[in-house]
Amino acid sequence: MDIFRVKTGSHVNLEKIDPDDKKGFDGDKEDAKKHLAGLSAKLEQLQEVLYAEHKHPVLIVLQAMDTGGKDSTIRHVFESVDPLGVRVVNFKVPTAEELDHDYLWRVHKQTPVKGEIVIFNRSHYEDVLVVRVRGLVPREVWSRRYDEINAFEKLLTSEGTTILKFFLYISRDEQKRRLQARLDDPSKHWKFNLQDLKERERWEEYMQAYEDALTKTSTDWAPWYIVPANTKWYRNLVVATTITNTLEGLNMKYPPSKIDLSQIKIA
């Protein structure tokens, strides 16, 4: 999935990326479901080895505009894994205690331990996205955070953490369709938030903020992947394939028993 990886030092222009793209897969939705089922089985096994070996922490960052599909991606990609070794973290508005610390304090506490996969459903990148667009801090504050985030992620990876970051990229028109679907379906009314409409009015500002974040913080140690996400099944395939390939690259093995099992008999 290197075609979606943001190369270190490259400039991201989202207008040149098609959120309807389906590069690398020639099948239809049904073919995708079968392929995703195979990936899910493989991911289930890899996650079990990761947990058993207790050597590698894995951090997955999901960012998207409202209705971008973060929750849905987590449900579909990780539906087969053992919840014992996977944890989802969603960063809400900072508490009073969190505001009394630096902005990365609450994030560092939630990073994965060895053998664990942690998924950030939104993340520390909100501090260069929503904080920037809403003007919650001055420019001189948020503009220095790119380097601080790079240093933070470098610290994590130097201590053994594998980091994968996904921007689920949908079009403005697709967001409109998904918001309308929430209005049309009474079972989805609970998802509708008037704040989403206010954020939608700032679409262009958010796209610029995302372009800067993707450009300045995609590194060799913590790369960004821009995932075309208008088509949900394709989005799931890209994310699942990237995670599976990355875990396979860790060359993990089940650990040997600490005791001699050859003489043990079950009565």
**What does the pLDDT look like over 146-191, one tens digit per residue?**
999 999 999 999 999 999 999 999 999 999 999 999 999 999 999 8
* Separation of alpha carbons 91 and 267, rounded Å: 50
CB within 8 Å of 127: residues ≥ 6 apart: 103, 142, 145, 149
User: Is residue 24 very low, low, confident or very high in pLDDT (cuts 50, 70, 90)?
Assistant: confident
> Phi, psi (5° rounding) for residue 10?
-85, 155
Overall average pLDDT of the 252-267 stretch: 87
Task: Enumerate the H helices of 121-193 as residue ranges.
Answer: 130-133, 139-142, 145-158, 172-184
Residue spans of beta strands (DSSP E) within the chain: 58-64, 86-90, 117-121, 162-169, 224-228
Provide the 3-class DSSP secondary structure of residue 197.
helix
Give the residue numbers spanning the domain of 122: 2-10+27-248
Count: domains in the chain: 1
Give whole-number Cα distances, 106 to 61, 98, 138, 144, 196, in Å. 15, 6, 21, 19, 25
Query: What percentage of the chain carries pLDDT values higher than 90?
Result: 85
- What confidence score (pLDDT) does residue 28 get? 87
In a domain, 254, yes or no: no
pLDDT in tens, 68-124: 999 999 999 999 898 889 999 999 889 999 999 999 999 999 999 999 999 999 999
Q: How far is CA 256 from the centre of its chain?
A: 32
- Segment 129-150, tens digit of pLDDT: 999 999 999 999 999 999 999 9
* 206 close to 6: Cβ distance less than 8 angstroms: no
Say if CB 68 and CB 168 are below 8 A apart: yes
pLDDT of residue 150: 98
Give the amino acid at 255: P
Say if CB 227 and CB 165 are below 8 A apart: no
Residue 33 within any structural domain of the chain: yes
Per-residue pLDDT, averaged over 14-30, amounts to 92
Dist CA 147 CA 156 (whole Å): 14
In which order are the strands placed within the sheet that holds 117-121?
86-90, 117-121, 58-64, 162-169, 224-228
Q: Tell me if 256 is assigned to some domain.
A: no
Q: Which of the two residues, 38 and 26, has the higher pLDDT score? A: 38
Q: At 199, is the pLDDT very low, low, confident or very high (cuts 50, 70, 90)? A: very high
Q: Is residue 222 part of a domain?
A: yes
What are the pLDDT digits (tens) for 227-237? 999 999 999 99
- Structure token digits, residue 21: 């793209």
CATH of the domain at 224: 3.40.50.300
In this prediction the pTM is 0.94
What does pLDDT average to over the chain?
95
> 135 by DSSP, 3-state: which?
coil
Residue 153 structure tokens: 């992620």
Q: Is 142 helix (H, G, I), strand (E, B) or coil?
A: helix
Q: Is residue 138 part of a domain?
A: yes
> Could you tell me if 44 and 81 are in contact, meaning their C-beta atoms sit under 8 angstroms apart?
yes
Query: Which tokens go with 91?
Result: 């960063």
Residue 260 predicted with pLDDT over 90: no
